[in-house]
């Protein structure tokens, strides 16, 4: 956390330039991968899965929003390992996210 967006961007830039590994700490159950793709809209997105159960973090992607028939639409994709996450949890996440976005 920084006091201004400018300070955050400056620190994030230096950190990214000096980062040598994707994950700098132990990969535990509370690690998630988020990818913002604000330049494109999509109907499907998929990530390479090497089948390593030690690297089965949930992956969340969202893309460029657009207005369609008076509603704002934003692509959102979730990729999880079914051995760790049941589809009911993804449904609950989608419902909660939709309720939040409806309020903004």
The residues assigned a catalytic role are: 82
Which helix (H) or strand (E) element contains residue 36? strand 33-37
CA-CA distance, 40 to 67, in Å (whole number)?
14
Count of residues making up the chain: 104
In the chain, alpha helices (H): 5-18, 87-103
Measured at the CA of 46, the angle between CA 91 and CA 23, to 5 degrees, comes to 90
């Amino acid at each position: 956390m920084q006091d201004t967006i400018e300070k955050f961007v400056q620190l994030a830039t230096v950190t990214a330039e000096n980062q040598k590994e994707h994950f700098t700490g132990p990969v535990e159950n509370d690690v998630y991968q988020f990818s913002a793709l604000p330049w494109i809209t999509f109907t499907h997105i998929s990530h390479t899965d090497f089948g390593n159960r030690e690297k089965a973090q949930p992956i969340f992607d969202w893309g460029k929003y657009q207005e369609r028939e008076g509603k704002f639409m934003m692509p959102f994709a979730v990729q999880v390992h079914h051995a760790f996450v049941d589809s009911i949890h993804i449904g609950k996440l989608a419902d909660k996210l939709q309720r939040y976005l409806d309020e903004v």
